[in-house]
Structure 1
């Protein structure tokens, strides 16, 4: 569970000041930004909740959860969209309220106009509707690695597949603060080789948020800006990983890595817009690609717009925001509001783009704090 919306370092990393990559050549004038502000956006249906079409309390022991980060599993033999959720609650009368750090659904729905439907969860079946401990009870898929002295959550922030291997970026929550504020111990990357059924964490991907969050850990300046992520495939073959600090108040930063090197932080490059271009290894070299306040992000290359697209909620007014750009490093368009917090009261956050959106139809999951559940939204692009 992330706080109600308001105005959510690696041991093997090479030290900063490694050789820098020279800036790339002068870019051609960018095309005008896609004018999508105010594009018609509507609620399709709830994905989670006791009264949702998926009846998630009855079928998965989930009365409330958030995020629903969707990604394609990359399996040509059994294509599915996996969805990672944050803090999850079940039956309130059960001791501990059946609380889990995170849970996971799977769906094969391509006709998103009628919502996202999830099949029953079957124990030990990695293609069933949910990873479950037992019939009717989704399991916690990503567990703590017990590095931090104080930890109150393990929350997914992004996920992507490379082939049939699944990668998930997550954050270790240190403390929940006021609305839209929280602190992290570190972020990290986990991998699943069985379609999201089980996950293991790469210790070398741990990015400390500060020098004192993990006893004996080593902090590298700049890693505090990559506590939350958004993965995106680039047209150039790189995998891009956006970053923001913990909470919903910071700007957005950008890194990239060859897809086969996701767990190796020594292979990452960081975008420096102050003339240095792509800088290897040193997260402290990254400069903001656009200013905050940026909430939970998602990103994709949109074939219809022929632009890169990011969605997030503005931590100041909690509107759902879109930005577009001709390349991942920008220049990014001004904020283009898609959903107003006045249009949909109750606290909206975490707009997560569905990977099977196509053409004019942009679908994304959106969390609603007042219900503490996830909705599928539909925007008709101009």
Structure 2
């Protein structure tokens, strides 16, 4: 049952079950085989109106983020939730605290950018926003859960500055490493690359950054990270597709106003020319594109994409074809 004025139904009945009427992002990671977590961004409740001039100006029930769970492995008919992390009223609760200070001088909100399981624990990377006008952040950091997403707390030894190359990121785990592709916060900077051993996720000094000039990994100095994708890269996610043996990245490209896809044989590049995965002429005010982990194993790419109006998240599918 949709909200008043909403054009799309909500197959997960999030309003009725968890008091979520409008949300964005949709960052999916595998917790255990067949079990997935999904982080969402700024979210609003029953009073949400999807076609207001500024959908995120809802007056109440604002949570800076929330977390859903899924055991759905057949995405042909959509993505079903198995539950949501809730408060004592049974409603979706905020996981990473946000101050909700709209002055532009304090703690406005905390927005997840990527999540992953490492060493049996779940981690979410997020940025803490000071002022949306210029995407000015206070910092980016990590939260951790040791009980499969029920309770969370900060990783105090991992923090990225407001002008870090890794203010927004994507994660993928392969061959003993967690790879991290990042941008500065916003939608106007190129992408760079880092990696670390799974056991070192909370040891930021052990992170290694790809220096494409020296053609080697540099430990502990993110300023040595060189550009791997020279584009205006917005919200991103990337995977390795084992069937095609290709790295695949998708991101919101503000300059072209589309969801762009690129491929590479090696994580360090070279990356292909941009391919228009989703056109804003067909899906107005699109942004965000987060791969479902099942996209790593076959011909179908499943990803969660946002649209500013009606300020919600949609499961999308594209098919890979051999050249």
Match of 1:37 in 2: none
Q: 1:1-382, aligned counterparts within 5 Å?
A: 51-74=9-32, 79-92=34-47, 96-119=59-82, 129-134=83-88, 136-144=90-98, 150-177=106-133, 181-210=134-163, 224-234=164-174, 236-345=175-284, 347-357=285-295, 358-382=297-321
Q: Is the 8 A contact 2:258 2:278 kept in 1?
A: yes
In 1, the alpha carbon distance for the partners of 2:318 and 2:229 equals 23
Structure showing greater relative contact order (alpha-carbon pairs closer than 8 Å, 6 or more residues apart): 1
Aligned counterparts of 1:229 and 1:49: Cα–Cα separation in 2: 32
What SS is found at the alignment partner of 2:283?
coil
User: What residue ranges of structure 2 are gaps of 5+ in the alignment?
Assistant: 1-5, 49-57
The verdict on how the C-alpha distance between 1:49 and 1:154 changes in structure 2, with shifts beyond 3 A counting, is farther
CA–CA distance in structure 2, aligned partners of residues 165 and 50 of structure 1: 35
Q: Secondary structure at the match of 2:223?
A: helix
Q: Tell me if structure 1 keeps the 8 A contact 2:64–2:111.
A: yes
Structure in which a larger fraction of residues adopt strand:
2
Runs of 4+ displaced beyond 4 Å: none
| Secondary structure of residue in 2 paired with 1:294 | strand
RMSD: 2.2
SS of equivalent to 1:158:
strand
Q: Displacement of 1:96 after TM fit?
A: 4.2
TM-score (norm 1): 0.76
Output one character per residue of 1:163-205: Cα deviation in whole Å (capped at 9) or x when no partner.
431011100101011xxx5121111111101111221111221
1:245 deviates by 0.6
What do the CA deviations read for 1:293-344 (whole angstroms, capped 9, x no partner)?
1010001111122111111011112211111111111111111111111121
Aligned to 1:124: none
After superposition, give the CA deviation of every residue in 1:62-83 in whole Å (9 maximum; x if it has no partner). Answer: 1100111000003x5xx41100
Q: Which runs of 5+ in 1 are unaligned?
A: 1-47, 120-128, 211-223
Question: In 2, distance between residues paired with 1:136 and 1:90?
Answer: 13
Contact 2:99 2:107 in 1 (8 A): no
Aligned length: 304
Does the 8 A contact of 2:158 with 2:203 survive in 1?
yes
The CA distance in 1 between the partners of 2:80 and 2:249, in whole Å, is 25
Q: Is this contact kept in 2: 1:50–1:58, CA < 8 A?
A: no
State how far apart, in whole Å, the 2-side matches of 1:351 and 1:226 are: 18
The TM-score with structure 2 as length reference comes to 0.89
| Larger Rg belongs to | 1
Mapped contact 1:162–1:260 kept (Cα < 8 A): yes
